[in-house]
Amino acid sequence: MQPYLYDSPTFRMACQQFDMVAEFMNIPEMARNRLKMPKRALAVSVPIRMDNGSTQVFMGYRVQHHLTLGPTKGGIRFHPEVTIGEVAALAMWMSWKCALVGLPYGGAKGGVTCDPKSLSLSELERLTRRYTQELIPVIGPQVDIPAPDVGTNEQVMAWIMDTYSLQIGHAVPGVVTGKPVLLGGSLGRREATGRGLAYLVSRTMDTLGMQAEGATAVIQGYGNVGSVAAISMAKQGIKIIAVSDAFGGIYNPKGLDLNKLNDHVAVSRSVVGFSEAEPITNEQLLLLPCDILVPAALERQITEGNAAKLNCRILAEGANGPTTPEADAILAQRSDIFVIPDILCNSGGVIVSYFEWVQDLQSFFWSEGEVLDKLFRLLEQAYMQTLNHARKHQISMRFAALSLGIKRVYDAKVVRGLYP
Ligand code: GLU
């Protein structure tokens, strides 16, 4: 079966990872395409009236990877480079991620090819509402539940919830997660991915016998994941020495003052130009000597071109798919680098999304303490299972995480059977 529709570097990368793991797990040939190929995909054109009176048409997508374990779940990305192939790869990774941490979901992802930074607030609202309208036949609390991803936030989720609810005729908070708490969002959801990442970094430091106090971290991407991960790691005593965003990076070997940096970002909308640091490019940043390197931006950043030159002890993948299979092959030869793979490392976000959905369905809301306690328990279990699996089979952490996730979906498909 040739996935022409999805063909793209990122989809090829997700397939390559799947094929290697399926081979290792001895999954029968016949079952492989059924597991790998997305179940459904919707492509829509999204016409928007722009502020200047013109009409512009954007392309939007939603891909649902498998429906075997429950509704599908995954974020919505607004970014100029969104393609249906990228969205399909991200949906596949959501499947393995949800299965790894034991959530009753298949994976999904959505996206609109646009530059949200160049849209006014009202253009962004019209884009979100029209895209939601086009998705109505395929989303819903029992069908497919979107959430934030690159370029979207709580406000975008509020518009999605409102547009869907107006169609249905009553408020449906469970159609989307990552909403404002006021509308049925969960306490702790906004911070969940970054906090979860910091928790796993701390557990990895225990495993490796490293001390947090005085350790250094470098973060690529200072959005919702990277900025919260920075604060959470700093609370553990880790020094954040460099961060970057789409506009460039900043570096201060003595450690960045995050309060001052966040004030600067609030005004200038970028880390660039922060007075207490020197400028650095995104490429240089990845190679800085540090204890913890956190790629928390886009996919395919650690490649065969830079993997051999990384200078970190822990690679904590906040982004989805930041490391190519070619780079993985190089990292496998480097016993000096411990990888916390994306589907484990950034799973805190979807875990608390799951909690949000459960709270919405029950209309019964939990304290932040309850949310965090349950989050750390699921992360601990997934971390230990992955570590033990990797050690037992002498495989990488990524291979271990993917094989645990894929196995759960495969087993579920086997017991459900093939209809008719
Ligand atoms: N976009 C996030 C991810 O890639 C969160 C998805 C969700 O919460 O459903 O994991």
Domains plus CATH for the chain?
4-183 (3.40.50.10860), 192-345 (3.40.50.720)
Q: How far does residue 216's CA lie from ligand 1's centre (Å)?
A: 27
pLDDT band at 4 (very low <50, low <70, confident <90, very high): confident
- Candidates 149, 191, 224: which one to mutate for ligand 1, based on the most atoms within 8 Å of Cβ? 149
Round to whole Å and give the CA distance between 167 and 165: 5
Q: What is the pLDDT of residues 352-373, one digit of tens each?
A: 999 999 999 999 999 999 999 9
Task: Quick: pLDDT tens for 313-347.
Answer: 999 999 999 999 999 999 999 999 999 999 999 99
- Give the end-to-end CA distance of the chain in Å, rounded to a whole number: 21
Residue 3's pLDDT is: 62
Structure-token pair, residue 87: 């969205």
C-alpha distances out from residue 261 to 219, 243, 256, Å: 14, 10, 7
Closest ligand 1 atom to Cα of 352: 8
- Say yes or no: CB of residue 194 within 6 Å of ligand 1: no
pLDDT in tens, 64-93: 999 999 999 999 999 999 999 999 999 999
Q: Is ligand 1 within 6 A of the CB of residue 149?
A: yes
Contacts 24+ apart (CB under 8 A), 359-364: 359/184, 359/186, 360/141, 360/173, 360/174, 360/184, 361/141, 361/174
**Which one-letter DSSP state was computed for residue 323?**
B
Residue 330 buriedness (CB in 10 A; 0-12 / 13-18 / 19+): buried
Residues with catalytic annotation?
109
Query: What are the structure tokens assigned to 329, written together?
Result: 């092959």
Asked if the model's pLDDT at residue 382 lies above 80, the reply is yes
- Tens digit of each residue's pLDDT (9 = 90 or more) over 191-248: 999 999 999 999 999 999 999 999 999 999 999 999 999 999 999 999 999 999 999 9
Residue 150 CA, closest ligand 1 atom number: 1
Question: pLDDT band at residue 1, thresholds of 50, 70 and 90?
Answer: low
Rounded to the nearest angstrom, the distance between the alpha carbon of 86 and the centre of ligand 1 is 15
342 Cβ closer than 6 Å to some ligand 1 atom: no
| Contacts of residue 374, Cβ cutoff 8 Å, sequence gap at least 6 | 355, 366
pLDDT value of position 355: 99
Please work out whether the CB of residue 147 comes within 6 Å of at least one atom of ligand 1: yes
CA of 13 to the centre of ligand 1 (A): 19
**Residue 2: pLDDT over 60:** no
The pLDDT tens digits for 101-158 are 999 999 999 999 999 999 999 999 999 999 999 999 999 999 999 999 999 999 999 9
- Which run of H or of E encompasses 293? strand 292-295
Residue type, 224: N
Per-residue pLDDT, 64: 98
Report yes or no: 44 and 131 within 8 Å, Cβ to Cβ: yes
Average pLDDT, the chain: 97
Average pLDDT over residues 288-298: 98
CA dihedral 179, 185, 186, 187 (to 10 degrees): 80
| Position 417 confidence tier, pLDDT thresholds 50, 70, 90 | very high
